[in-house]
A and B are shown apart, each in its own frame.
Chain A
């Protein structure tokens, strides 16, 4: 039950994009195209889950026992960046088909705020291993949900008549604002 609450809270109530403003660069950059955003959502979810597992192990078996918590930021950044690089190399060799689909997104998220934020938040909240896995999967799916919704909205927007200065980024922000407003309806559903 506890895990279910954590999961739902990560997906909709505390949606990373729409209530915590993380991962906006990819969110606005990739959401022009629906297929690309589905790929991106999947890539972010898997990288986030794997890297937060890795980060949990490092935090609880290396950083915490030696009281090196002040190094968390440095260690996590390097850990995640090198892990993503490694993942890219492995996928390229072992599963070229998968690489063709996702490869380009992997490098984009190597140093992305949302991928770094989840392990940091998990470490901060002192989650157990299982809890941090559940919360990372939830956060990843929440990101995927937001980006897919946004991409479908933006595809419709192509036919709309937008005032010239608002074209591009401006209208995208306003759309995101509307989405955030809609997601506000979920707040209060679960309080953690």
Chain B
């Protein structure tokens, strides 16, 4: 019988949750790297036993970890992330130029075909690549040195590159997103980059329709249609049907279109999920009710999913990297909260249950579907 392995990064370590295809009974392993912030961990599509994890600490800096046995054991690999060439400056909170400074790895993205190739999105925003299993990291500096780089500015949480989407049909193309610079696309394997923010409107920047400066929280893609992307921005949920050339808002009847996560059903490319958060001032669900919203029409029309989720006194947040879907026949949807829950729906969002509910604040959730 098939099964799943859920990889959970938290403020105080990593946890690995495993179950069979029924996704009812779970085994919890961890904490791995106890006491460290695990921003993100993810498995290689080419070798499910190869995992990468970003382990960080305000005291000790960045450590990168690799597992070759599905998370049972780990080994530290290279942690040197040096910007390539002249560092340059971006905009600081007060508008003054500020030198790029490496702080941490927000997101790891293993390549689709080679377990030893992996990308890392870092703060201050840049994209790094390793082709030797994480031992050595080289910056793809065409992104940071894009002409707009000096205008990028950090959001309240820092200037992190948090989303990396690899086009399964075109190895030369990938998408990334940065808070708060916006979304970018490369069509030449990372050598050069193009801002893809046309159609975004952000009232909190001087020019609401500027080429860069938008606080994109997350982008999602269905692998069968890599030209269609869905975005949860600071405010607004959007989609593009032409690889980011033009976006349009699809917030529709959402009760609030602020939020962090967005994801796509594994078998239904027009079925998408968000978790509405009250506002940028109050990072918790409306009315203390934790509700996932699902659209089965690619946006605009949304339905609340509540069965099994706390519907009173719930004041948690769901962070940008904390939602994932599995690829079992009945698509499973997962998300983690800053209150330490990891919820699963084994039926595409109809019903939910908590796998765990007392973990440290959850920073990221990924899932692997195992044979």
A binds B: no
Residues of chain B touching chain A, judged by Cβ–Cβ distance below 8 Å, are none
